[in-house]
Amino acid sequence: MERTGRQHFVRLFSYTTRYFWLLLIPLARSLYSMSFDVDAFRVWIRGAWLDLLVLLVIICFAWIRWMSVRFAFDSEKIILRRGIYVNSEDTVYYSQITTLSIKQGFLYRLLGASKVHIATNAGNFDRADVTITMRRADADRFYSAVKGSRQKSLNYSISPNKLRLLLFSVLFSSALSGVLIIVALLLETGEIFDREVEAKLLFDTLTEAVNIASVYVPPIISLIIIVLVGAWSLSFVNNLIVYWGFVLTKCADSLYVKSGIWTKNRHILLRSRINYIDIKQSFTSKVFNVSSLHVHCAGYGSTGRNEMTVVLPITTRKEVNGAVEEVFPEYPRPKVELKTNPRSYGGFFFWPIVFAIIPVCGFVLIYHFLPDWYVVAYPAVAITVIPAVWLALCKTLSMFITGIGMSGDYITMRYSKMFTFHTIVAPKDRIAKVIIRQSPFQRISGACSAAIYTSSDSKVRHYIYGLRLDRALAFFEKNGFDLYYTENPK
Amino acid sequence: MRKYTLKPAALYIMSGALFILAALVTLLAVQYLVSVKILMYSVIALFCVTAVLLGLILLPMYFRRTVIYISPYEITVHSGLIFLRRDHMKMSAVQYVTRVSLPLSGFSGFNFVILRALGGSIVLPFLNSVDADEIVETVHLEISKRQ
């Protein structure tokens, strides 16, 4: 039976311009500054009529836009109609949906709304093809309709142990990801609030915290500790909010993912459309042999801030391997044949050295030319050099694990990208392009780097640094990627 | 397997254009910057060095090094100046082809073929018109075989 409807009313607010509510502030202030009698109200109307008119027009346009979007779905497809004068109609069959994501943030839960993202493999960009805000009941019906169209045999279900999740979140939440969350939050709120005011607020709070802490430890040390602890705490809380109640269920043709504590997220992924699986680890999680399992397919992990492509949050490597065997039985165990060339080891430290040198050079310049800023520059250098040292550590480990392997119809790639270690397993037919690149230094040492692009609606590149050129060419030729031609000994 | 190289006419046109541009800038600098000699010499030197470097060294090197190999199964491009690179794409990965031709491209060699796959693309630059047609035809044939 077909179900039709309009989007949830909350969508109306996102159709108004982002800054429209700023108009309300001067209006409310001027109204408040007058005594609330009829004459004062008349004076207020006379002064504020243009602002009120603009406000009304904005709301009217938003309402027209909201009214113009309608949806209808049945047991095999969803139809989205947009427009009043010029009409457009999108029809998406459930069999073509690669990823269906239904998300309920905290506010949306209170208002009974759900955001629905539908992604197929036809998208031009790395985002959902259709995004609509439905009433919760409609979203639930739609979820059931899509679920009903998929094969029903239940094969496997896994939910991470909550105590272990809590423990691993404590141990492996990183200050860096906390900093990234803070930056994302600042950028997002900075679009609404004045960025200078925001920076001042942050600076004042930090100064106050440093002043309190400096009773016990020197101010520089307390600043570093506060920044690191604050960022780490945010990352920890974020991990818990996102991964608490995480359940992965595998059926014959689909994966079902549910997660969230205050926010509720549900995803349905079509297994045949998964481009690759990615076992991710940080430096510390690698040392303690824990990891998280991610998948890459269109629309998954690209529908909002803090969105992840995870299908199994941080847990023991043994559990991840078990999940891979159960959920992706056709994928072989990662095995690396082509490893890094010892002559290329130096190159792994290029970026850590660059990242360390830049702040030190800046500090030397400030020390000589702006000696008054020494007090600020010193902790700033200390904070910026720490990631460079950490990156050097990651790269040291990376030298010994980087490599490529191919078995049967699958390719395995192991490499590190900044602070994260990746183990990728992808079907060979998902390789879009292979590039072998040589820098002038690599030409001297006979080394090269391989960039492997996998199928995706955006560019996804796996960069494997420091291979031996002759071995890399022979390896790729053996596996059906002939990059020799002129140099081919045959 | 078929080997393609870039059309030298494109190199001569670009090198010629660079030298003409450098000469024009020199004339303008001599005309209008004569009062600030140091600036005049700097501008002239900058443009002349760039023209010589690009027109006589870098571009000829790039044209000499770029070689395209196309077989019914794969496309490989060897290219690069400072960083040497070999791009490889399986014919089975190609989704569609874009051909870009500038005016007088039959004479100038400003024909480009872009092979697009899901997640990557390869640009085959400065091709002879006949070669560009042949490449497009080969790829279209292979794509149609898949149907």
Question: How far apart (Å, rounded) are the C-alpha atoms in residues A296 and A279?
Answer: 11
Domain-terminating residue out of B24, B47, B63: B63
Name the residue among A280, A239, A235 with its Cα closest to residue A418.
Answer: A280
Residues B106 and B134 in one domain: yes
Contacts of A474 in chain B (CB under 8 A): none
Q: Which of residues 76-105 of B touch A (CB under 8 A)?
A: 76, 78, 80, 82-90, 92-93
| CA torsion, ordered A206, A210, A213, A214, to nearest 10 deg | 180
Enter the pTM of the model. 0.79
Domain-terminating residue out of B21, B43, B63: B63
B16 touches chain A (CB under 8 A): no
pLDDT at A181: 64
Residue A191 has pLDDT above 50, yes or no: no
Contacts of B86 in chain A (CB under 8 A): 435-437, 483
Least confident of A150-164, A202-216, A438-452: A202-216
Contacts of A37 (CB under 8 A, 6+ apart): none
Determine, for residues B87 and A443 on separate chains, whether the beta-carbon distance falls below 8 Å.
Answer: no
Residues B40 and B109 in one domain: no
Residues B51 and B79 in one domain: no
Residues B101 and B117 in one domain: yes
Of B3, B76, B83, the CB nearest to A437: B83
Residue A199 has pLDDT above 70, yes or no: no
A474 touches chain B (CB under 8 A): no
Which amino acid, one-letter code, is at A281?
Answer: Q
CA dihedral for A136, A138, A139, A140, sign (positive or negative): positive
Residues B58 and B84 in one domain: no
Structure tokens that stand for B5 in this block: 């190289």
pLDDT class of A203 with cuts at 50, 70, 90: low
Per-position b or e across A160-199, b if 16+ CB within 10 A of its CB: beeeebbebbeebbbbbbbbebbeeeeeeeeeeeeeeeee
Which amino acid, one-letter code, is at A414?
Answer: R
Q: 3-state DSSP call for residue A124? A: coil
Which amino acid, one-letter code, is at A424?
Answer: I
B106 touches chain A (CB under 8 A): no
The residue in chain B having the minimum alpha-carbon distance to the alpha carbon of residue A485 is B69
Determine, for residues B84 and A481 on separate chains, whether the beta-carbon distance falls below 8 Å.
Answer: no
Determine, for residues B76 and A485 on separate chains, whether the beta-carbon distance falls below 8 Å.
Answer: yes
Residue A308 has pLDDT above 50, yes or no: yes
DSSP B56: I
Question: How far apart (Å, rounded) are the C-alpha atoms in residues A275 and A269?
Answer: 11
Residues B52 and B105 in one domain: no
Per-position b or e across A88-110, b if 16+ CB within 10 A of its CB: eeeebebeebbbbbbbbbeebee
| CA torsion, ordered A262, A264, A265, A268, to nearest 10 deg | 150
- Give kind and range of the element (H or E) at residue A99: strand A99-104
Averaged over A354-359, what is the pLDDT? Answer: 89
pLDDT at A178: 64
| Percent of chain A predicted with pLDDT > 90 | 19
Rg for chain B (alpha carbons), in Å?
Answer: 20
Residue B28 has pLDDT above 70, yes or no: yes
Of B74, B83, B119, the CB nearest to A454: B119
Distance from CA of B87 to the nearest CA of A (A): 4
Residues B95 and B112 in one domain: yes
Chain segment A336-353, per-residue pLDDT in tens:
889 998 888 888 899 999
A446 conformational bin, left if phi > 0, alpha if psi -120 to 50, beta if neither = left
Treating both helix axes as pointing N-terminal to C-terminal, what angle do A175-190 and A219-243 enclose, rounded to 10 degrees?
Answer: 80
Residues B48 and B14 in one domain: yes
Owning domain of residue B107: 69-146
Domain ranges of chain A: 3-68, 86-159+245-327, 174-235
Contacts of B39 (CB under 8 A, 6+ apart): B33
More confident residue, A226 or A335: A335
The DSSP result for A405-424, as a single string, is EEETTEEEEEEEETTEEEEE
pLDDT class of A488 with cuts at 50, 70, 90: very low
CA dihedral for A193, A196, A200, A202, sign (positive or negative): positive
pLDDT at A119: 87
The DSSP result for A210-272, as a single string, is HHHHTTTS-HHHHHHHHHHHHHHHHHHHHHHHHHTT-EEEEESSEEEEEE-SSSEEEEEEEGG
More confident residue, A53 or A254: A254
Residue B126 has pLDDT above 90, yes or no: yes
Residue A375 has pLDDT above 60, yes or no: yes
Name the residue among A309, A202, A302, A204 with its Cα closest to residue A248.
Answer: A309
Contacts of B92 in chain A (CB under 8 A): 429
Name the H helices within chain B: 8-32, 37-52, 59-65, 105-108, 129-146
pLDDT at B103: 87
Question: How far apart (Å, rounded) are the C-alpha atoms in residues B79 and B65?
Answer: 5
Determine, for residues A482 and B92 on separate chains, whether the beta-carbon distance falls below 8 Å.
Answer: no
Which amino acid, one-letter code, is at A94?
Answer: Y
Structure tokens that stand for A478 in this block: 């053996």
B127 near B102, Cβ under 8 Å? no
Count Cβ–Cβ pairs < 8 Å, chain A vs chain B. 78
Q: 3-state DSSP call for residue A120? A: coil
Determine, for residues A457 and B118 on separate chains, whether the beta-carbon distance falls below 8 Å.
Answer: yes
Structure tokens that stand for A243 in this block: 């991964």
Average pLDDT, chain A: 81
| Cα angle A357, A359, A361; round to 5 | 65
A445 touches chain B (CB under 8 A): no
Indicate the length of chain A as a whole number. 490
Least confident of A54-63, A121-130, A324-333, A459-468: A121-130
Contacts of B4 in chain A (CB under 8 A): none
Residue A382 has pLDDT above 90, yes or no: no
The residue in chain B having the minimum alpha-carbon distance to the alpha carbon of residue A123 is B118
Q: Which of residues 116-145 of A touch B (CB under 8 A)?
A: 121
Contacts of A458 in chain B (CB under 8 A): 119
Name the residue among A381, A387, A399 with its Cα closest to residue A352.
Answer: A387
- Give kind and range of the element (H or E) at residue A326: helix A317-327
Least confident of A210-224, A261-275, A366-380, A415-429: A210-224
How many structural domains are present in chain B? 2
Residues B141 and B81 in one domain: yes
Residues B128 and B104 in one domain: yes
Name the residue among A391, A314, A300, A299 with its Cα closest to residue A354.
Answer: A391
Distance from CA of A456 to the nearest CA of B (A): 5
pLDDT class of A206 with cuts at 50, 70, 90: low
Residue A150 has pLDDT above 90, yes or no: no
Question: How far apart (Å, rounded) are the C-alpha atoms in residues B8 and B60?
Answer: 9
A410 near A480, Cβ under 8 Å? no
Rg for chain A (alpha carbons), in Å?
Answer: 27
B120 touches chain A (CB under 8 A): yes
Question: How far apart (Å, rounded) are the C-alpha atoms in residues A466 and B2?
Answer: 31
ipTM reported for the complex, 2 dp: 0.85
A486 touches chain B (CB under 8 A): yes
CA dihedral for B54, B58, B63, B68, sign (positive or negative): negative
Best residue in B71, B118, B124 for a mutation probing chain A (most A CBs within 10 Å) = B118
Residues B105 and B39 in one domain: no
In terms of average pLDDT, the best of A64-78, A259-273, A359-373, A411-425 is A411-425
Residue A22 has pLDDT above 80, yes or no: no
Determine, for residues A443 and B67 on separate chains, whether the beta-carbon distance falls below 8 Å.
Answer: no
Q: Which of residues 370-429 of A touch B (CB under 8 A)?
A: 429
Contacts of B120 in chain A (CB under 8 A): 432-433, 453, 459
Question: How far apart (Å, rounded) are the C-alpha atoms in residues A483 and A477?
Answer: 7
